[in-house]
Amino acid sequence: MCLDASDNMTYMTRNNSLTDLNVLNYRSLEVHGLSFELMVDRKPIGEIVGTSDTAVPYWLFKTGVALRPLSQLNSGDTGKRVVAVCPCGTYGCSCISCNVVQSWDRNIVFREFTTDLRSSLLPFNLLIFSFSLDNYNSVVKSIFDDIRVFEAI
């Protein structure tokens, strides 16, 4: 994914100014020990996509099924990342996942969403969210910090 911006101007399908970026954040919940509900522009991803999938249990971050630090995304990982999970906590039961990639302008992009349940938002698979690299890094760091604190108790 190391593309030279000057060669890829046609790749810009939307205004890439900072004000156009989405904002990623989360809230932590005391569900299944500790879970993280990921939100885009202050709305839970499950709500945006239109399924009942919700917070992601902490162990899915530890095992690399959910969001990963950028260093691990860049090392050839092309698998989909789980971003919302069935309320029962089992992602095999139902989940929302998407590809998490870094674009040539260094932003982090969530795209090619898939769900197990039929989404009420069609076509949900065309959703694309872009976050600044700083935004993504700070969310992932904060989640892993929360997990460390939780496990230290």
Residues near Zn ion (CB under 5 A) are 86, 88, 93
For Zn ion, the closer CB: 96 or 140: 96
Considering beta carbons, is residue 64 or 87 the nearer one to Zn ion? 87
Closest C-alpha to 117, from 142, 88, 137 = 88
- E strands of 30-143, at which residues? 35-40, 43-44, 56-57, 81-85, 95-102, 108-115, 129-131
Minimum Å gap between C-beta 23 and Zn ion is 29
State the Cα–Cα distance between residues 57 and 61, nearest whole angstrom.
Answer: 8
Nearer to Zn ion by Cβ, of 67 and 95: the residue is: 95
CB of 106 to Zn ion, least distance (A): 36
Q: Residue 57 Cβ, how far from Zn ion at the closest point, in Å?
A: 11
